[in-house]
Structure 1
Amino acid sequence: MPRSLAGETVGVLGLARSGLAAARLARSRGAAVYASDAGDSELARQAAEQVRGMGGDAETGGHDLGRLAACARIVLSPGIPPTAKVLKEEAIRGVPTIPEIEFAYEQLDCPVIAITGTNGKTTVTGLIEHLLRADGVDAVAGGNIGTALSELAMREPQPAWAVVECSSFQLAGIDRFTPRIGILTNLAPDHLDWYDGVEDYYADKARLFTNASAESRWILNAEDERARTLIGDAPGTRLYFRVESAPASEDELGGWLSAGELLIRTEPGRTERVGDAADLQILGPHNVANALAAALAARLAGASVQGICDGLRTFKAPEHRLEPVGEVDGVLWINDSKATNIASTRVAVRGMTRPTVLLLGGKHKGEPYTELLPDLARVRTIIAYGEAAPTIVADLEGRAPVERVDGPFEAVVEHARRIARPGDAVLLSPACSSFDMFRNYEERGRRFAQLAREGA
């Protein structure tokens, strides 16, 4: 049942969607609230005004360390990494900090399916919600996608299942957060602009298993050695999904691909067919793996085989994740703006079936672009842009066909339009964050889609 926070002062860092929702949740449970955001954008100011309107206090353009030090605890929005400068301030070192998903979980009554990993989180999260809903189950996606978990905690009645996408930043500070079903999609270096090294990043991902018990159900990528073994000796039932190999034994629980059929086994001795890979509307072999992981979670959550079959056939690519946004003069334009790391872009280019003009750039995250070289067989031209352009060119020039385009994003897209030929694809899969030109990857992707369609 909801827990009263009367008499407690809650601080909130970050006034984007999740931070604002956390402030609302705290106020709805009787807490005093102080929220702040280092930025001073119009959206941040509007959010601050909403917090004041509900009886809290808020400011933008900085943080009042004295006010934060007086809080019983500080809730971190998903965009606030554990390494953020404000968290190292001496004045607030004694104040407990928790991620927004932990704060919301304390007020949540429904069971949780949690999804983490380097890539595929958003697709798998959206798929699970879609599969459960296709079978009539009230499931809502939240966390790092869609609705903030704090919003779900305030919903009356609460859904049957909360399907929660979890970033490494969100998992870093969890204490009680306990998914009934957990999924680790894959692991690859990411956020090296924030973490001291990849092992620190993986360690935060491993916190998914912090509160594992014998009742836990863990869905793991059998073909990603690090993702398969990160769980260590945590208790619970393991189910493995795989696309390029067969189950290790007849007793293995999980999902696999056989002669184009999607097969799952969630109980010993019972193998169930949930569809054909050819019927999926999402691009690339990695999405077959995503479909299997989602099907396993949905089945464990009570969805019928028929509901899963129907849902897999009707699910379409999430916005910004290998999303076809139009075909103009024989050129297919694909928005993969959520590919903000090298591993995600590698997955995207591997799945291309047309000669491809690749838009690569944004704010550099510390990874070498040479790691793309083994996967560029179908890439006819790379357009390097944004702050990362000099680094991209330095890494790839002489080893891959790369061109640098300076100037605004509109100039980048226009150059792609000029050099693309009928039968080509123009793929925005940047391998970088968006913060040099845009507020977030969503804004970048929508601008790309708009510019692509304007050429029709």
Structure 2
Amino acid sequence: MQQQWNDKRVLVLGAARSGIAAAAYLRNVGADVTLNTGSEPSTEERMKIEALGINGVFGAHPLELLDTTDMIVKNPGIPYHIPLLQAALERNIPIYTEVELAYLATDATFVAITGSNGKTTTTTLVHELLKGGSRPVHVAGNIGFPAIEVASKAKQGDIIVIELSSFQLMGVEQFHPQAAALLNLSPAHLDYHGDFESYADAKGNLFRNMTASDRVVVKGSDTEVMKRVPADLDASTFGYDSGDAHVTDGWITLHGKRVIRVEDLALGGAHNVENVLAALLLVEPFDIPAEHIDRVLRTFGGVAHRTESLGQVLGRRVYNDSKATNNVAAEAALSGFDAPIIWVCGGLERGAELDSLIPALGRVKAIVSYGETAGRFQALGEAEQIPSFAVDTLDAAVPLAFEQSAPDDVILLSPACASWDQYKTFEERGEHFVRLVHAYEEANR
């Protein structure tokens, strides 16, 4: 598939890791590459671009670039409405995203996962499960390495497990996974897509090239998801209460056959049970040994900062869900436990309404909030007659959460806010929470 790029004049939009990886690949397969960014790249990025020996245009997207462009490969986060891309569409210049480039670069098999929530955990779990098979398996996309970097090295017969965003899926034309899952749909990225229908349709592009011989996995009770399944495809469904994979009498079941008790899963939360159900359907066509599946499900504790289990700490079950930067993600986490929850929340003030969180507060025993939004979360809890506390920092919130808890309770960091009032990233916030929990445990043994 590489010959199509030879001597083509390709404009790569966006630097960062994926853009530079795309430029490097295209340069290696004979394309004449120009890399363009709307801002100034970092010193490290500029050095990498210069080392590739390609032309770089930084700080703006001049329309004259299109005069010497046969095709464009764009960073998924760059919206199509910028003038350069609108002019390219008017000139019928093909526009690819990195996932399409990766698909065209390899004969490996793709297993693809998307959804509004849970895709990183499911992608990582599927990767771990597929490691038990006979075929080499790689992970790519929004986690792991850039898709083109992985695809350019993968061989026929290999499997690439890839997490995909709506941004990436807007630009697919030929991408054809052998197994794919659309986990769920809820409003997100509407500033980019304009409205929910456009966002959901972009997610549905995942299935556009799939056939009856492929494995299509969807949440059967999600009506918006089901609308995106092409009529000619027979989907495999999952759901906590019903589907080809569901829970019966406390057991994870696949086509009615018991796999593992829910209480024996290392992953916590009802939403993660559904991620497990989806993962089992995705890997089913690959004949993974049952003993490997059982071992992974009993030991895989999740992805860092995404309802990540920190295990038993002083008799409490503690979870780091720092990735929950909005109400929808926090609701999913709060709804996933049967035990009493001490909810640690707060962060950047964005003015979001908090009322949508009320239905998820049924198991919340106490709220410990911090940061810019601490007072608003305290008011929310008090209005629902839940003991609630507002502090300035996580350093104060973690000890208070333990003080408000009892053995067998859940302590859950699920902020429902971005981290930028006190941290550069949600990862930094989550890592600080983990350190504070371990320090408290050490001091109180």
TM over 0.5: yes
Which stretch of the first structure deviates more once superposed, 288-297 or 428-437? Answer: 428-437
Whole-angstrom CA distance in 1 between matches of 2:21 and 2:349: 28
Give 1:57 shift: 3.0
> What's 2:282 paired with?
297
SS of residue in 1 equivalent to 2:393: helix
Aligned in 2, Cα 1:399/1:76: closer, same or farther, shift over 3 Å? farther
- Return the offset for 1:231: 1.3
Question: 2:50 maps to what in 1?
Answer: 52
Counterparts of residues 52-71 of structure 1 (less than 5 Å): 52-58=50-56, 61-67=59-65, 70-71=68-69
* Cα 1:281/1:398, change in 2 over 3 Å: same
Amino acid aligned to 1:204: A
2:395 is aligned with 1:414: yes
2:303 corresponds to which of 302, 310, 318: 318
CA distance in 2, matches of 1:29, 1:184: 33
Q: Choose which of 351, 354, 375 in structure 2 pairs with 1:369.
A: 354
Q: Please give the alpha-carbon distance, in whole angstroms, between the structure 2 residues aligned to 1:318 and 1:27.
A: 34
- The Cα of 1:92 is off from its aligned counterpart by 7.8
* Residue pair 1:69, 1:92 contacting (<8 A) in 2 also: no
Determine if the alignment matches structure 1 residue 336 to structure 2 residue 321.
yes
1:289 offset after TM fit, Å? 1.4
Describe the superposition over 1:26-54 as per-residue Cα deviations: whole angstroms up to 9, x where unpaired: 1221122222444557xx43123212212
- Find out whether 1:154 has 2:139 as its counterpart: no
**Counterpart mapping for 1:417-456 below 5 A:** 417-420=398-401, 421=403, 422-423=405-406, 425-434=410-419, 440-455=425-440, 456=442
Instruction: Sort the Cα spacing of 1:273 and 1:396 in 2 relative to 1 into closer, same or farther, 3 A.
Output: closer
Partner of 1:174: 172
- Secondary structure of residue in 2 paired with 1:237: coil
Q: Distance in 1 between matches of 2:422 and 2:60?
A: 22
Are the structure 2 counterparts of residues 264 and 333 from structure 1 closer, same or farther at C-alpha, using a change threshold of 3 Å? closer
Structure 2 counterpart of 1:385, one-letter code: G
- Whether the 8 Å CA contact 2:268–2:309 is kept in 1: the answer is no
Aligned to 1:251: none
Indicate how the Cα distance of structure 1 residues 413 and 319 shifts in structure 2: closer, same or farther if over 3 A, else same: same
1:236 to 233, 236, 240: 233
- Between 1:314-323 and 1:63-72, the stretch displaced more is 63-72
Q: Which ranges of structure 1 fall in alignment gaps of 5 or more residues? A: 248-253, 266-270, 406-410
**193 and 389 in structure 1: CA distance in 2 versus 1, 3 angstrom threshold:** farther
Equivalence for 2:6: 6
Which stretches in structure 2 are left out of the alignment for 5+ residues?
none
RMSD of the TM alignment (CA)? 3.2
Aligned identity (percent) is 33
- TM-score computed with the length of structure 2 as normaliser: 0.85
Aligned mates of 2:379, 2:69 — CA distance in 1: 47
Tell me the alpha carbon deviations over residues 176-219 of structure 1, each in whole angstroms, 9 at most, x when there is no partner: 11111110111111123333222221121111122232323211
Residue correspondence of structure 1 range 220-235 to structure 2 within 5 A: 220-233=218-231, 235=232
- Look up the SS of the partner of 2:161 in the other structure: strand
Shift of 1:272: 4.0
SS in 2 for 1:189: coil
Mapped pair 1:23 → 2:4: no
Q: Number of residue pairs matched?
A: 433
Distance 1:345 1:413, change over 3 A: same
Secondary structure of 2:412's partner? strand
Greater shift after overlay, 256-265 or 294-303?
256-265
- 2:346 maps to which of 360, 365, 383: 360
Which deviates more from structure 2 when the two are superposed, residues 179-188 or residues 44-53? 44-53
Q: Secondary structure at the match of 1:193?
A: helix
Contact persistence 1:115–1:125 (CA under 8 A): yes
Partner residue of 1:196?
194
Residues 367 and 378 in structure 2, CA contact (< 8 A), matched pair in contact too: no
User: Of 194, 212, 215, which aligns to 2:213?
Assistant: 215
Shift of 1:167: 0.7
Query: What's the TM-score, normalizing by structure 1?
Result: 0.83
Q: CA deviation at 1:436?
A: 6.0
> Counterpart in 1 of 2:371?
385
- 1:121 is displaced (CA, Å) by 0.6
- Taking the aligned partners of 1:158 and 1:451, their CA distance within structure 2 comes to 46
